[in-house]
């Protein structure tokens, strides 16, 4: 049966520790517990030294922290995800004063179950030596080159996206020490957003493989005028280019492909290099105000043709006002071609007539 007094004391201790951590106060001689992004459980029990690198000026304190047992290792072939908050809770339960230490590194550790091959165990062995900035820079550059080569060779993307990723210290050490750039595999369509990539490094004692999450961000491209365009001109393929670096604030209502803008009519002059906004163009004018146009009235099985005078300008798909040449009545129709419009008439209501029992003429 749980002791209420003991539970209350634990809650108070946790609250006090977290409050002190939130204030940013770190006492002199504190150890830094830097969580890894992933680790491999080498034994039946996961220790703090497996999931984190621990730095401190007191070697005895560092050794004591490394050997703290957290929980049983996951079964072989399975994974367990360990958030930093859970690490702190486990340490509190084992009597560790969190106020004396500082946490950094990954916000969550992926723990792989099972015994790792000796090559991996040797490559990612726990070490208290801080990673040199030059090693991290070298490893990041080499992995970036490997990712670019992978995407170019596989043809997965037409334009190279921006690649963002973070390496754990263990991963960076393995890559930086390797004789050749790592090999990359994995990922999946649509080749954007967060992708789980598998990185394989050829070490002196065998290949080492580990996952790295890579964020793929494709640049925004918009249609830009390749030359000055005058009002009334129709945009041709040579008049437009795609740009991934448009002037700031000028692509909110732009076109994302050349096909969307080619064939449209310019409604106001567009300077060379300027983004072509949707308000700058329209569908080519097929019907002009005052034109006599052919009106097609369509219904299932019936097509009637008549003439009318246009009261508005309009391109394909636009709704324009018309005046009948026979009785001067005003109606509206949709532009469907050069001096051609169409309306859809309601079908003969044969079923409604039959249901009402009316033996007279069919109503329209």
Helix %, strand %, coil % of the chain (to 5): 25, 35, 40
The verdict on residue 233 lying in a domain is yes
**Same domain for 327 and 296:** yes
Angstrom distance (rounded) from CA 317 to CA 303: 19
Question: Where does the pLDDT of residue 233 fall: very low under 50, low under 70, confident under 90, or very high at 90 and above?
Answer: confident
The verdict on residue 5 lying in a domain is no
Q: Given 82, 116, 150, which residue is the final one in a domain?
A: 116
The mean-pLDDT minimum among 273-287, 306-320, 325-339 falls in 273-287
**Same domain for 320 and 305:** yes
Does 117 have pLDDT greater than 50?
no
pTM over 0.85: no
Q: Given 282, 303, 330, which residue is the final one in a domain?
A: 282
Angstrom distance (rounded) from CA 107 to CA 93: 20
Q: Which of 141, 164, 146, 154 is nearest to 217 (CA)?
A: 164
Give the number of domains in the chain.
Answer: 4
Q: Report the pLDDT value the prediction gives residue 114, as an integer from 0 to 100.
A: 60
The verdict on residue 354 lying in a domain is no
Q: Report the pLDDT value the prediction gives residue 333, as an integer from 0 to 100.
A: 92
- Could you tell me if 225 and 244 are in contact, meaning their C-beta atoms sit under 8 angstroms apart? no
Interior/surface letters 241-256, b for 16+ CB within 10 angstroms, e for the rest: eebeebeeeebeebbe
Measuring CA to CA, how many Å separate 115 from each of 49, 73, 96, 237? 16, 10, 28, 61
- CATH at residue 266: 3.90.1210.10
The verdict on residue 353 lying in a domain is no
Q: Percent of the chain beyond pLDDT 70?
A: 76
Mean pLDDT of 162-182: 88
Burial class from Cβ neighbours inside 10 Å (0-12, 13-18, 19+) for residue 261 reads buried
pLDDT digits (tens, 9 = 90+) for 257-307: 778 888 888 888 888 888 888 888 887 888 889 999 999 988 777 788 889
Can you give the residue range of the structural domain that contains 250?
222-282
The verdict on residue 10 lying in a domain is no
Q: Given 267, 282, 297, which residue is the final one in a domain?
A: 282
Angstrom distance (rounded) from CA 39 to CA 306: 79
**Same domain for 86 and 37:** yes
The verdict on residue 9 lying in a domain is no
Higher per-residue pLDDT: 68 or 131 = 68
**Same domain for 316 and 302:** yes
Write down the mean pLDDT value for the chain: 78
**Same domain for 106 and 184:** no
The verdict on residue 197 lying in a domain is yes
- Could you tell me if 109 and 81 are in contact, meaning their C-beta atoms sit under 8 angstroms apart? yes
Question: Where does the pLDDT of residue 346 fall: very low under 50, low under 70, confident under 90, or very high at 90 and above?
Answer: low
**Same domain for 289 and 278:** no
**Same domain for 56 and 90:** yes
**Same domain for 189 and 139:** yes
Q: Any idea which residue has 């091959």 for tokens?
A: 117
Does 125 have pLDDT greater than 90?
no
Cα 329–chain centre separation: 55
**Same domain for 20 and 109:** yes
**Same domain for 275 and 302:** no
- Could you tell me if 315 and 329 are in contact, meaning their C-beta atoms sit under 8 angstroms apart? no
Q: Report the pLDDT value the prediction gives residue 5, as an integer from 0 to 100.
A: 42
**Same domain for 86 and 45:** yes
- CATH at residue 316: 2.30.30.760
Does 216 have pLDDT greater than 70?
yes
Cβ neighbours, 10 Å, residue 336: 16
The DSSP bridge partners found for residue 341 are: 295, 335
- CATH at residue 95: 2.60.480.10
Mean pLDDT of 211-224: 82
**Same domain for 227 and 213:** no
Does 156 have pLDDT greater than 70?
no
Q: Report the pLDDT value the prediction gives residue 90, as an integer from 0 to 100.
A: 92
Angstrom distance (rounded) from CA 79 to CA 210: 13
Angstrom distance (rounded) from CA 114 to CA 112: 7
């Amino acid at each position: 049966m749980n002791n209420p007094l003991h539970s209350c004391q634990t809650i108070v201790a946790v609250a006090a520790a977290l409050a002190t951590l939130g204030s940013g106060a770190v006492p002199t001689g504190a150890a830094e517990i830097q969580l890894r992004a992933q680790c491999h459980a080498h034994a039946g029990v996961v220790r703090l030294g497996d999931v984190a690198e621990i730095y401190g000026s007191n070697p005895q304190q560092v050794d004591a922290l490394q050997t703290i047992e957290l929980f049983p290792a996951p079964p072989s072939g399975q994974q367990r995800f360990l958030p930093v908050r859970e690490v702190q809770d486990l340490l509190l339960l084992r009597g560790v004063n969190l106020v004396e230490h500082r946490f950094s590194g990954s916000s969550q550790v992926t723990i792989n179950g099972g015994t790792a091959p000796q090559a991996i165990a040797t490559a990612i062995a726990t070490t208290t030596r801080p990673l040199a900035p030059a090693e991290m820079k070298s490893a990041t550059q080499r992995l970036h080159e490997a990712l670019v080569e992978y995407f170019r060779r596989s043809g997965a993307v037409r334009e190279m996206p921006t690649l963002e990723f973070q390496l754990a210290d263990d991963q960076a050490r393995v890559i930086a020490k390797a004789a050749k750039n790592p090999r990359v595999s994995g990922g999946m369509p649509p080749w954007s957003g967060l992708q789980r990539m598998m990185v394989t490094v050829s070490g002196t004692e065998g290949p080492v493989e580990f996952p790295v999450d890579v964020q793929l961000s494709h640049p925004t491209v918009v249609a830009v005028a390749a030359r000055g365009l005058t009002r009334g001109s129709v945009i041709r393929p040579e008049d437009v280019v795609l740009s991934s670096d448009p002037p700031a604030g000028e692509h909110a209502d732009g076109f994302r492909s050349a096909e969307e803008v080619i064939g449209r009519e310019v409604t106001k002059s567009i300077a060379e290099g300027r983004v072509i906004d949707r308000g700058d163009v329209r569908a080519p004018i097929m019907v002009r105000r005052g034109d006599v146009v052919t009106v097609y009235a369509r219904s299932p099985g019936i097509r009637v043709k008549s003439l009318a005078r246009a009261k508005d300008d309009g391109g394909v798909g636009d709704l324009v006002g018309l005046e009948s040449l026979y009785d001067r009545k005003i109606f509206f129709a949709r532009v469907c071609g050069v001096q051609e419009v169409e309306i859809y008439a309601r079908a003969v209501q044969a079923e409604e007539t039959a249901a009402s029992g009316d033996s007279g003429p069919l109503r329209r």
